[in-house]
Amino acid sequence: MGIAFLIIGALIFVASIAVLSYFLHKFCKSLTLGGAAPKVEGDNRLIFISTVLAGGFGFLLLSLGMVLFNSWNFDAGNYVTNIIGAFFFGTAINLFISSFTLYFSRKDLEIKQRKATQIAMILAIPLFIIGLWMWTDSFALFIQYPLPNSISFSKGLGYPDGGDYGFTLAFYGIIIVSGALISYFICDHYVYAKFGKHGLIDTLFLVAFPLGLVGARLWWCIVLEPGYIFHDDFGSSFMRIIDVRTGGLAIQGGALLGMISGILFALKFRKYINIRWLVDVCIPTILIAQAVGRWGNFFNQEVYGAASNIDAWWFLPKMIRENMVIGSSFRIPLFFIESIINICGYFIIRYPIGKCLKRYLKQGDQAFMYILWYGIVRVSLEPLRDGFTLNLGHSEAFGYLQSWITAFVMVAVGILGMVGLRVFEYIRRRQGKEVKEYEAI
């Protein structure tokens, strides 16, 4: 019974996303007669509503299949929480996909429906969070900890215990790629809204993302853990650098090389796009990618603070609390704190600042605000990490200290960058040259 529910639920959930995507693509490419504003009505409305609800129902069946397959001894409360949470979670995914696509791909949508679509997109986010929270809490006390952090192709699941699981596919890598793709899709839809064409930044992404990973790896090897590579001959050190399966990626290096490579590529091959507008669109979305990526640290049991009383963190989902018990002590989940702060940072930069205060902004300000925001986050959180110390005799501690110092540099760069934009425009005005006004994103 359990395996049947699992398979049927997974098929319904995946099919709902596939059907929804197909009809969204078809609707967004359709032409309207007589210049009238398009509406989601008739068969299209029925299809969109049905696929959104089918996503919730499919995930509900999948979840019940998990319960039955694992023979979890659920009481009535667990079943209610599981069913409601799974339905909310699955529904929220399809609701966000449909509303996000309609809002950005059909800017000519009838005004009332466009507003309703925006509201649906916003509501899908808390619905997703509440659903995921309730769903995981329903079975959090019935599963093994620490949670698996990889899929082993020879031994099933792998765990963060240092055991030999052979060749594995790490959740950390999957989550990092997922965060990057979310960031890309957000940027692509902003570019589409301005230029009416998807794919203009595809190649830029394919350049900046891999080089960002290279920068993240080099930063970890050279700055955070120099003793990991610089203790042997060059060949051995080089092999350790490219052996990413052993872990070790630093966000600072990834963001730095990713931004530099992306900007240089755009300047060379996307000259028809205002580079200052483009960095305002793309660079703040790195916060979303970082927020998602931090959940890879959760599965690896990384980025945590000092030991704390687990009861003081009662408001966190049970799964987070249980998986943050490391070395028999509950650790402050800095990964979670940073993830939430980064998500808030993106929306603050994009909306309260980017929209409400746009008359005071210059093109490029939001890109430097990302650097400023993340610098402040790292300045605040780095000293709280377990292992951070001013004792320079330990390589890892020295690496954390260097990251802390780098964070202060990021704060300075963010402030000086925004000041520099104003100086640049002042000089252009003195020279009698035209200053382009801020373009709303």
Delimit the domains of the chain by residue range.
1-143, 168-441
Q: What is the pLDDT of residue 392?
A: 47
Q: What is the pLDDT of residue 286?
A: 95
What string of DSSP letters covers 323-345? Answer: HTEETTEEE--HHHHHHHHHHHH
Q: What is the pLDDT of residue 180?
A: 95
d(CA 297, CA 302): 5
β partners of residue 151: 157, 169
Q: What is the pLDDT of residue 440?
A: 45
Please give the model's pTM, rounded to 2 decimal places.
0.89
Q: Are 137 and 85 in contact (CB under 8 A)?
A: yes
Q: Could you tell me the sign of the dihedral formed by the alpha carbons of 307, 147, 83, 71, in that order?
A: negative
With a CB cutoff of 8 Å and minimum separation 6, the contacts of 55 are: 13, 16, 17, 20, 90, 91, 93, 94
Contacts 24+ apart (CB under 8 A), 67-74: 67/2, 67/139, 68/1, 68/2, 68/5, 69/2, 69/3, 69/5, 69/6, 70/2, 70/142, 72/139, 72/142, 73/142, 74/138, 74/139, 74/142
Q: What is the pLDDT along the chain (441 residues), one digit of tens a residue?
A: 789 999 999 999 999 999 999 999 888 888 665 566 778 888 888 999 999 999 999 999 999 999 999 999 999 999 999 999 999 999 999 999 999 988 888 888 888 999 999 999 999 999 999 999 999 999 999 999 999 998 888 888 888 887 777 778 889 989 999 999 999 999 998 998 888 888 899 999 999 999 998 888 888 777 766 665 555 555 555 556 666 666 677 788 888 899 999 999 999 998 888 899 999 999 999 999 999 999 999 999 988 998 999 999 999 999 999 999 998 899 999 999 999 999 999 999 998 998 888 888 999 999 999 999 999 998 898 888 876 655 444 555 566 677 788 889 999 999 999 999 999 888 888 887 776 654 544
Residue 140: alpha-carbon gap to chain centroid:
23
d(CA 183, CA 20): 21
Amino acid letter, 290: Q
Amino acid letter, 228: Y
d(CA 329, CA 99): 43
